[in-house]
Amino acid sequence: MALTYKDSGVDIDAGNALVSRIGPLAKATMRPEVLGGIGGFAALCALPTKYREPILVSGTDGVGTKLKTALATGRHSTIGQDLVAMCVNDVLVTGAEPLFFLDYFATGALDVEVATEVIRGIADGCKLAGCALVGGETAELPGLYHGGDYDLAGFCVGVVEKSLIRPTATLAAGDVVIGLPSAGLHSNGHSLARRVVLDVLGLSFDATPPQLQGASVADALLAPTIIYSKAFANLGALPWKAAAHITGGGIIENPPRIFRDETLAVQLDLHTWEEPGIFALIRSAGVADAEMHRTFNCGLGMIIVVAPEQVDVALAALDEYQPRRVGQLIPRGEGPDCQLIGKR
């Protein structure tokens, strides 16, 4: 009997079926700069003509062990938004406009329905981000991944005017830090969160502990990462100075990434914003504040630094994101480069 690729665990027909479903999803995200569509060996994209000195900006990321919750609960509709958000938000903080996005979907055995749901979420995320889904790769890797388990990686390319790249060289003590709330964990710290919630506290995905105010554990763990493209678009020509996407490293390690030297520090006031309930649930298991701050966003998904005289205008422009004045830049002196004041 002749052996086939399918006998070894790779289903070409399933892959072709998935490609036929992806086409319309990708088409709905197209920008005028994109040349061609899904199906070629590579994607082509022109630079927008409005830029005088266009600089390309690229970012790549995944969604980590948040995937384990999606797989365990069978809820795959928002994990694609997480993937887009983790890449796009990193590009936004440079001042760039996201142009296009590609994904990599790897699995042990391709389930066309699940993969379509995931990629539909990616397309939805691209719409929110304003970038085109120009292609990607689906890999069936039996023996490397178990059954229908899958992994995701994303790649975003944006463009920024060279003269408007952030952070600027004008950062100074007294500049104000504006915080934009997160939706919860976003896509960082899930290994610790799952260990605490599922193992230490012994909760099921369907449980609704009081800290979550009616939401289930699955709802809280899978709350999609916010894409902040519209927030930066709403700022328009306002001369914001720097921004930081609060990801791995939490609220301690991410804000200082805006600095080009060691003369300044970020001071954040913990009393100025609220934490989503998932963080209170994790704290209830005895996780120390220091560990919370270095692992999670603790309720801040993005921070933006502006000059004091621009604060009111910036807050008004960001109003739909419920912005908060959460801190300021200070001389660093002998202290750490991110200083937290107040206590929860």
CB 216 within 8 A of CB 208: yes
The domain ranges of the chain are 6-164, 176-341
pLDDT, one tens digit per residue, over 153-200 is 999 999 999 999 999 999 999 999 999 999 999 999 999 999 999 999
Residue 344's pLDDT band, with cuts at 50, 70 and 90, is confident
User: In 10 A of CB 309, how many CB atoms?
Assistant: 8
Question: What is the C-alpha to C-alpha distance for residues 94 and 122, in angstroms, rounded to an integer?
Answer: 22
Q: pLDDT tens across 225-283, in order?
A: 999 999 999 999 999 999 999 999 999 999 999 998 889 999 999 999 999 999 999 99
- Dist CA 172 CA 308 (whole Å): 10
Check for a shared fold between 6-164 and 176-341.
no
Helix 79-92 and helix 112-129, axial crossing angle in degrees, nearest 10: 30
Task: Domain 6-164: give its CATH superfamily.
Answer: PurM-like, N-terminal domain (3.30.1330.10)
Q: What is the pLDDT of residues 96-144, one digit of tens each?
A: 999 999 999 999 999 999 999 999 999 999 999 999 999 999 999 999 9
Of 158, 155, 137, 187, the residue nearest 87 (C-alpha): 155
pLDDT category, 1, cuts 50, 70, 90?
A: low
**In what order do the strands lie in the sheet containing 97-107?**
54-61, 150-161, 97-107, 132-140
12-16, 59-63, 326-330: least confident range: 12-16
Find the angle CA(322)-CA(324)-CA(326) to the nearest 5 degrees.
Answer: 155
Mean pLDDT across the stretch 283-297?
97
- Please tell me the distance from the alpha carbon of residue 182 to that of residue 167, in angstroms, as a whole number: 22
CA 75 to each of CA 21, 69, 199, 256: distance values in angstroms, whole numbers, following the listed order = 19, 8, 20, 35
Q: Determine the topology of domain 176-341 in CATH.
A: Phosphoribosyl-aminoimidazole Synthetase; Chain A, domain 2 (3.90.650)
What is the pLDDT at residue 161? 98
192 φ, ψ (degrees, to nearest 5): -70, -45
User: Is 210's pLDDT higher than 80?
Assistant: yes
Going by C-beta distance under 8 Å and a sequence separation of 6 or more, which residues neighbour residue 89? 225, 227, 228, 245, 247, 301, 302
Average per-residue pLDDT for the chain: 96
Give per-residue pLDDT as tens, 19-67: 899 999 999 999 999 997 777 899 999 999 999 999 999 999 999 999 9
